[in-house]
Structure 1
């Protein structure tokens, strides 16, 4: 926890025990912050937030996030996206944020990730039903992070079990799509659509259609997100340790053609250069909110 004279920050990480369906779980609480905007960056995972202190307010642009047409939700479900979301940072906030594997969306959320791709934010109670709102109220009433994580994990585990029972134990995601995602992950987002389509024995067109319907992205777009996510983590690690990142080395290690190629991806996914994003997020990184690579 980081404390100052007028502000305090707390970030607590849990080890998800949901068979890989949840990649990371972070409890957060901040008080005394200077109100502003936070950039929610694209990643290869879905976002699920249970706010414990008022709605999460966001927008596709800074102007929308600050305006009357901003998105407001106590439970946030966010699909895969390719540009930053702008989230209002209030003076105080608290919640639990999960990074959900997109191929687990059917089991945990009740819909394929592709159905969440059209909107920046979908209220979680609309996707997951009234029970999700009841669970949020329970989390608000509980006093400790360990208890909250246990309650949320139990709820999600039961949702997955119910989804499995409803499907008769059959896999909900086509095996070709699951293997395509696994192939992209093994190759760290670097690989050709031709090589991928040959690997799963589908035509490039058919694979792209099935993959997009399940995840909301094409295989090429998903691969770029995986590569950027790895590069962002590689940039964050030295900053968290108090040193400057070597962007040329990061670009080479993460499969970019050159440093300029990495900068272009940062411009697309964050809206600013790597140095500009680090200047904005340095305090968050050093406080631990980016530990493990998840937002």
Structure 2
């Protein structure tokens, strides 16, 4: 999101014989703490439920075609107590979210680093936990809705990304310096990321010179999850990307190799995590998401909606 000309980095589309159309557009990230930005637009979809996957990042969605409707279970997602919001802020979650897929949808989804929540949202990521999603206006204020409407009215993706980037930068600047994240927590997150979620809690605690219990307390107070839980999200994220690369490259899925490369004890532990985080086996998940993958929807942050 650094400049208009450089805003859109990659665009993918997929059209089905039934009139179904999917488009995903990736943007550069010139906003501190924004890990990825994905614009999405789809039409002609068969109404149903999409599974939003856990990840080591917070989610921020600006929806242009009506509210995002989600639930912790398929039953909740289609029921009266579903969560509905045109702007969605999602905390770190460790189970799939079920998202109603309407016939038509579009918007922009950002993946936000949990340690950037203080600067971008005015609170630590842990304060977002307790609900599947939080209405974005409750976190960002009334101005966010005006920005959402402006984004929806723009026709060009580069304009949209630049508008959103300018808003987020201005918001961070107006808020002033955020209270700093404790250096032990920041280094613990960086250590986990470098090791792709592998390693032991004892080794991590020793690295930041804290007891495992003290580190866990501080880490959870900042991010909403424990170091062990964050590590499992990182391992899963890398495993998911490895499967996506195989689909894009047209190579066979080697689950044993993926498990070894991504820090799993063995193939069965990889399958266990996929069932826990997606509700399906790795091969079943790939089959279900193949169209999104081929259109580019999983290359840089996975939209909850399309």
TM-score, normalised on structure 2?
0.92
**Does 2:21 correspond to 1:13?**
no
> Separation in 2 of the partners of 1:3 and 1:265?
32
The match for 1:184 is 192
Gaps of 5+ in 2: 1-12
The match for 1:277 is 285
> Separation in 1 of the partners of 2:202 and 2:68?
41
Q: Any residues of structure 2 matched to 1:122-271 within 5 Å, and which?
A: 122-163=134-175, 165-167=176-178, 172-271=180-279
1:166 Cα deviation from its structure 2 partner: 4.9
> Separation in 2 of the partners of 1:282 and 1:224?
24
> Separation in 1 of the partners of 2:47 and 2:250?
25
Alignment: residue pair count? 290
SS in 1 for 2:273: helix
CA RMSD of aligned residues (A): 1.2
Contact 2:35/2:111, CA 8 A, preserved across alignment? yes
Contact 1:84/1:269, CA 8 A, preserved across alignment? yes
The match for 2:113 is 101
TM-score, normalised on structure 1?
0.95
Contact 1:39/1:87, CA 8 A, preserved across alignment? yes
More contact order relative to length (CA 8 Å, sep ≥ 6): 2
Q: Any residues of structure 2 matched to 1:39-118 within 5 Å, and which?
A: 39-118=51-130
The match for 2:5 is none
SS in 1 for 2:65: coil
SS in 2 for 1:82: coil
